[in-house]
Structure 1
């Protein structure tokens, strides 16, 4: 009842306010002014220097290129674009007067975020563009802001991948973490090893577990993301979650046999760290991955890798003895170090899930980044150990950034694995003070597709909780109280739905006990 009253009050208050536009995530500073700018017909634009690729997003989302006329004098323009190196990286400033819009940005990313803010600030519809007068100054709270989509357990269409890249850009994120390999599917074409996709992409049983992305499709997606200020970070999980690859090439495992593919969870069938041939195979895979992805970061997984087979494997036991390692966990560290060193030779950084540093052991190289995830099982152990060893950290704890966790119980998700918008906003352990430690790069969010989360189920899990996570990643000021933030979410819901995103319930009391998550 409390939130029903809040909803009615917030909708009324925002509709009464003439300039009551809302931008999410919230800009650092908004100074409203009287008046508005209406743009229609031919739009004259000015740029101090040749505009970068960001202008393609402007043409696509606000004004088609055919309706734009470039002019040589700013005084004649409706919109001007100016580079401003005094702004922080990725920062921007927008000034709207009754005569024109002036956009200043530190870099192309800043211009992209300015465009995303202008999209939300526009009050016009078919009649053209209408912008209430305002001055907005904005920049990100943290450097790393990402959304991860699990395409390993469930395959999504290319258009769906683009949809969530669009979402990430709208919410001013700068990385799209693409989980491409799993026990239930190997989704990326590796030309040197065609069975990875010929067999490995079709080991799942469900209709949305069949398929892979060709290298041409991958390049298309990378380019699409780049135009939206998004870097695509691929994840090739190793040594665990490898059952699909081991079905395609059984020799990569410890015992040279095709393995059973689990329809949920994971098994002890992981890549063999004792065979030189397995390491060579994985390095060859990384060669092709690095040729496709220009990202400075390559995610190598490293989570949930049971060592039962390694403990029995003669090759792994021999490796442990030869390298003077302590145990199978130390062997995983040695294996991870070899892969990270290989990426270092290519000028790349390796991201690993926090599992690799739960215990000390063989040292990892200095190009390693740790992604802290397992709050439920290990609390902040990975965060503390990473900082103690001087590794940069991405904070993305399963509570409360894993958006596959529903608001109410569903299939394998018990009550203990549920959370709502208020939980995210008030209790997210990944939301760390900026000044806590310079090694903390930022925050991540994720949508895993465990238990058959197919394409049609994604939106209602992601929205509206992703708005709280985006706010924590981006907003550089002090956080509002939850009631104020929730009012903004309710008022902005229609806009996001018009962009093609469906909302699920925000609060557990909204979902009740009978909400259908599938």
Structure 2
């Protein structure tokens, strides 16, 4: 037997140990889980010599290059340049119609992120950023060079609509808070931000033809705070910020119920009685009697509670529909996306026939301005126009009814996706009328098998709402959405047969390292080994 020196034995041991510990692309903790990941031998070194090459033209290509350069430069502590002539980190826009699919290829010589569409390139960048050191979350330099394991990722979303709703009506959140919410969504490949802009407690969007909506209706919120609203310029700023990150804003004006803020602003929209008087005192919800002689209506009292179902527009007045037309027109002019949300939920005091009449007319107004209507699942009890969408939240029969009319369903079951629900009975924020929703509850469900009679072909996508009855600031928002917004991101993006709770739990624990660095106020679920 040949004699091996101690020094050679040590060298061999260290070499073997390093090879054993070297991470592969399959070891990375990407959320949402990509469809296909293949590891390969080798790695790419990202350092100050790395140059981002932009191949293909488009409105957002230059911005994406600078966005990626800024992120990488932050952890290298050096400036990264972009070019249209040469480079070894390539953003390549290809020819085709798979606008959200992407490929990420890593070799010793180069990294290529490619897609037929700019959204796909942006989503590929989000996966790539999760391969970088955690310090990227705070743009803190950690090294002069970063090693990325070789391999490839081929990925595309399961559902085309992957949304989250932020309720800014119960409590108002300023532009910077909304941008923070958008940034969280963008990192998880969400593509629709649903803004709940009006409710009983507040009206949050400037309508120039009806100025009292914000002057009066925007002056308060749940608990009696000062409220607030977005000027049209601020709303445009939100829309543009989201669009730059390939997120489309879906504005919601809830009607004919959830309208007390509007009724407090304009008495003439009331159905002849003050809906906030008497009904709330007894919490007995009864349909209003439209056959009684009308009296000159008074404005509703401003409302700062959280009970629902007591307000309604006067559905038999031409003025009401002129109001709806004006509001829709002004918001549509600022919103380039395809959808307008008309609400339609919990309109308990509206006579059923009047409710159907109102929803049908509201749909026609939205269609006149070139948008597709989305409504909470109750709108399926009216006659949905072709292409309009019912957002399932509570009544499975309504989801089936929408499907029978030939319309798609947006899945937002309250028992799985409502991020305002308490995690458990000890949670200080939130409500629990639908359920307690732990992180595994938010993850372990399949949209295509949740409602009998509703299959994947009937579903346009998945949305996770955050209602804000008990949410007053950014820290509250973070506590309720971290980690559940991660769970729904994977439910909406990754095929259900590839999802696994134990695997997700490990990747989620890894993601929390970045939350800690950012000072995110997150819920440390006992279901996760943090």
- Where on the TM-score scale, by shorter chain, does this alignment land: which range? 0.7 to 0.9
Give 1:259's aligned residue. Answer: 300
SS, match of residue 246 in structure 2: coil
Give 1:474's aligned residue. Answer: 493
- Aligned counterpart in structure 2 of residue 159 of structure 1, from 176, 182, 185: 176
Contact 1:185 1:200 in 2 (8 A): yes
Contact 1:240 1:303 in 2 (8 A): yes
* C-alpha distance in 2 between matches for 1:28 and 1:48: 25
Give 1:70's aligned residue. Answer: 83
* C-alpha distance in 1 between matches for 2:514 and 2:333: 38
CA shift at 1:435, angstroms? 9.7
The TM-score normalised by the length of structure 2 is 0.82
TM-align CA RMSD: 2.7
**Worse-matched range after superposition: 208-217 or 43-52:** 43-52
**Worse-matched range after superposition: 206-215 or 390-399:** 206-215
Q: Given the superposition, is the C-alpha separation of residues 190 and 101 from structure 1 closer, same or farther in structure 2, using an over 3 Å criterion? A: same
Contact 2:54 2:65 in 1 (8 A): no
- Aligned counterpart in structure 1 of residue 259 of structure 2, from 237, 242, 245: 242
Give 1:426's aligned residue. Answer: 444
CA shift at 1:506, angstroms? 2.5
Give 1:33's aligned residue. Answer: 40
Give 2:371's aligned residue. Answer: 348
* C-alpha distance in 1 between matches for 2:529 and 2:111: 41
* Structure 1: stretches of 5+ with no match in the other structure: 1-14, 311-327, 512-518
> Is 1:18 aligned to residue 23 of structure 2?
yes
Q: Given the superposition, is the C-alpha separation of residues 440 and 191 from structure 1 closer, same or farther in structure 2, using an over 3 Å criterion? A: same
**Worse-matched range after superposition: 500-509 or 100-109:** 500-509
Kindly provide the CA deviation profile for residues 320-351 of structure 1, in whole angstroms up to 9, marking residues without a partner as x.
xxxxxxxx223212211111111212221011
SS, match of residue 357 in structure 2: helix
CA shift at 1:422, angstroms? 1.4
Q: Given the superposition, is the C-alpha separation of residues 509 and 105 from structure 1 closer, same or farther in structure 2, using an over 3 Å criterion? A: closer
* Structure 2: stretches of 5+ with no match in the other structure: 1-19, 74-78, 136-140, 273-296
Q: Given the superposition, is the C-alpha separation of residues 330 and 479 from structure 1 closer, same or farther in structure 2, using an over 3 Å criterion? A: farther
Q: Given the superposition, is the C-alpha separation of residues 70 and 292 from structure 1 closer, same or farther in structure 2, using an over 3 Å criterion? A: same
Q: Given the superposition, is the C-alpha separation of residues 241 and 498 from structure 1 closer, same or farther in structure 2, using an over 3 Å criterion? A: same
CA shift at 1:460, angstroms? 1.3
Q: Given the superposition, is the C-alpha separation of residues 478 and 84 from structure 1 closer, same or farther in structure 2, using an over 3 Å criterion? A: farther
> Is 1:204 aligned to residue 225 of structure 2?
no
> Is 1:408 aligned to residue 424 of structure 2?
yes
Contact 1:124 1:130 in 2 (8 A): no
SS, match of residue 63 in structure 1: helix
- Aligned counterpart in structure 1 of residue 241 of structure 2, from 201, 220, 224: 224
Give 1:383's aligned residue. Answer: 399
Contact 1:222 1:293 in 2 (8 A): yes
Give 1:396's aligned residue. Answer: 412
Contact 1:463 1:504 in 2 (8 A): yes
SS, match of residue 31 in structure 2: coil
* C-alpha distance in 2 between matches for 1:162 and 1:411: 22
Kindly provide the CA deviation profile for residues 462-496 of structure 1, in whole angstroms up to 9, marking residues without a partner as x.
11122111111001362343222211111221124
CA shift at 1:417, angstroms? 2.4
Kindly provide the CA deviation profile for residues 253-279 of structure 1, in whole angstroms up to 9, marking residues without a partner as x.
112212232511224221110110111
Contact 2:471 2:477 in 1 (8 A): no
Q: Given the superposition, is the C-alpha separation of residues 435 and 37 from structure 1 closer, same or farther in structure 2, using an over 3 Å criterion? A: farther
* C-alpha distance in 2 between matches for 1:400 and 1:389: 25
SS, match of residue 292 in structure 1: coil
* C-alpha distance in 1 between matches for 2:430 and 2:483: 22
> Is 1:137 aligned to residue 154 of structure 2?
yes
Q: Given the superposition, is the C-alpha separation of residues 367 and 509 from structure 1 closer, same or farther in structure 2, using an over 3 Å criterion? A: closer
* C-alpha distance in 2 between matches for 1:397 and 1:175: 17
* C-alpha distance in 2 between matches for 1:85 and 1:69: 22
CA shift at 1:59, angstroms? 2.1
Q: Given the superposition, is the C-alpha separation of residues 411 and 83 from structure 1 closer, same or farther in structure 2, using an over 3 Å criterion? A: closer
Q: Given the superposition, is the C-alpha separation of residues 364 and 484 from structure 1 closer, same or farther in structure 2, using an over 3 Å criterion? A: closer
- Aligned counterpart in structure 2 of residue 119 of structure 1, from 125, 129, 134: 129
Q: Given the superposition, is the C-alpha separation of residues 79 and 509 from structure 1 closer, same or farther in structure 2, using an over 3 Å criterion? A: closer
Contact 2:69 2:80 in 1 (8 A): no
> Is 1:183 aligned to residue 188 of structure 2?
no
Q: Given the superposition, is the C-alpha separation of residues 122 and 267 from structure 1 closer, same or farther in structure 2, using an over 3 Å criterion? A: same
Give 2:60's aligned residue. Answer: 53
Kindly provide the CA deviation profile for residues 385-444 of structure 1, in whole angstroms up to 9, marking residues without a partner as x.
111111111000101100110112357735862120111222465766999242310111
* C-alpha distance in 1 between matches for 2:223 and 2:508: 35
Contact 2:314 2:320 in 1 (8 A): yes
Contact 2:106 2:152 in 1 (8 A): yes
Q: Given the superposition, is the C-alpha separation of residues 163 and 16 from structure 1 closer, same or farther in structure 2, using an over 3 Å criterion? A: farther
Q: Given the superposition, is the C-alpha separation of residues 480 and 290 from structure 1 closer, same or farther in structure 2, using an over 3 Å criterion? A: closer
SS, match of residue 202 in structure 1: coil
SS, match of residue 381 in structure 1: helix
Give 2:503's aligned residue. Answer: 484
Give 2:110's aligned residue. Answer: 100
CA shift at 1:16, angstroms? 5.1
- Aligned counterpart in structure 1 of residue 362 of structure 2, from 339, 345, 348: 339
Give 1:316's aligned residue. Answer: none
Contact 1:46 1:81 in 2 (8 A): yes
Contact 1:264 1:451 in 2 (8 A): no
* C-alpha distance in 1 between matches for 2:466 and 2:372: 23
Give 1:314's aligned residue. Answer: none
